[in-house]
């Protein structure tokens, strides 16, 4: 039974490696060629190409954390204490920066500045 488990473990590692490599190849090819129908179309203030990059990267992060860092074998409590904290804090930070950054961008673009802030 130990053998079956370990053979499974090795197989899983190779499978995840192949998935990660494929995701990276897709990202790199898209990054080099930047097809216009993705690069020039916008969705929620960002072009589709960037959306694809970010989604693929998060997907890679999921595989690295679950399979390589063995989070899939840990208790749910430990998983949530790490992933939940990261998602909450990073989302919060990005949310604030996007809103405030948008405000500052509009000020620089449209208004007259009385002082450089």
Residues of this chain that interact with another protein (CB under 8 A) are: 2, 6, 9-10, 13-14, 17, 20-21, 24, 27-28, 30-32, 39-40, 50, 53-54, 57, 60-61, 64-65, 67-70, 74-75, 77-78, 81-82, 85-86, 89-90, 93-94, 97, 101, 104-105, 108
Degrees to nearest 5, angle at CA 10 with 6 and 15: 140
- Minimum gap (Å) between residue 46 Cβ and another protein: 9
Closest CA to 17 of 60, 79, 74, 72: 60
Cβ neighbours of 105 (radius 10 Å): 10
Enter the DSSP assignment of 112. P
| Runs of H (alpha helix) within the chain | 2-33, 36-39, 48-63, 76-110
Smallest separation (angstroms) from another protein to the CB of 13: 5
Q: Which is nearer to another protein, 14 or 114 (CB)?
A: 14
Decide whether 89 or 114 has the Cβ nearer to another protein.
89
Query: Min. distance of Cβ 79 from another protein in angstroms?
Result: 9
């Amino acid at each position: 039974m130990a053998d079956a488990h370990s053979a499974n473990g090795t197989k899983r590692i190779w499978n995840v490696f192949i998935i990660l490599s494929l995701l990276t190849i897709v990202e790199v090819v898209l990054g080099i060629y930047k097809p216009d129908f993705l690069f020039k179309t916008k969705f929620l203030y960002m072009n589709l190409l960037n959306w694809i990059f970010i989604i693929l990267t998060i997907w890679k992060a999921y595989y690295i954390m679950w399979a390589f860092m063995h989070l899939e074998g840990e208790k749910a409590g430990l998983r949530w204490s790490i992933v939940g904290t990261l998602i909450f804090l990073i989302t919060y930070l990005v949310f604030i920066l996007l809103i405030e950054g948008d405000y500052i961008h509009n000020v620089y673009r449209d208004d007259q500045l009385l002082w450089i802030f």
